[in-house]
Chains A and B, each alone.
Chain A
């Protein structure tokens, strides 16, 4: 299965700890998007990355959240000093090309973060 992969699928952290979420895009895709889904809500855009570049982080909270997509390895969404309000499902999506009219994003299974 060459789909978008995310791990871990479930992550439990205590308040104040760090959470690291990983995403490997589909084979041949070099553009990664992160979205967050709070309970009973739709998905909300957080950040868009290409290899070694953050292109659009307009949806990222200003503090505690960061993302990277290194030349080698998966994209990482990092949340420092987690709080209960960070509990959500975090989805990664990938696409082959940016900006094109028919640029469809394909989603991974998500990481469900629970902050105790």
Chain B
């Protein structure tokens, strides 16, 4: 049962344009959402997060939007740069046993920014 889904395995965007990466979730208990970027042979790098009490969070070129009624979030990157080319993972979090906050990841979207 895939609770966090990234339905686009890949996305290509021209440098300078907007990149929009999408993520859907099914578990209404998730209350904190994160985006990570991952280069080959490296660990995921934290990008930006949003709690369920907000619908938007912005940090520089990165903005995350959350639509709770649709159980959907998206990451906007403006303007896109070639160095943004990487796999982007959406992750969702909720309190579980012993106050642990395990992350549930989507399968990732490979973003390629073309110069």
Binding site for B on A (CB under 8 A): 4, 6, 33, 35, 40-45, 48, 55-56, 58-59, 91, 93, 95, 98-99, 101-110, 112
Contact = CB atoms under 8 A, between A and B. Distances in A.
A41 B107 contact: yes
Interface residues of B, number: 31
B43 A4 contact: yes
Nearest to A49: B100
B34 interface: yes
B85 interface: no
Interface centre among B41, B42, B93, B100 (most CB of A within 10 A): B100
A101 B32 contact: yes
Chain B interface SS verdict (over half):
mixed
A55 B106 contact: no
Given A101-B51, A104-B49, A43 B44 contact: yes
The 5 closest A-B pairs by CB, nearest first: A42-B105, A99-B99, A107-B43, A56-B100, A45-B102
Given A101-B32, A101-B51, A55 B89 contact: no
Contacts of B34: 104
B46 A104 contact: yes
Interface in B19-72: 31-32, 34, 36, 41-46, 49, 51
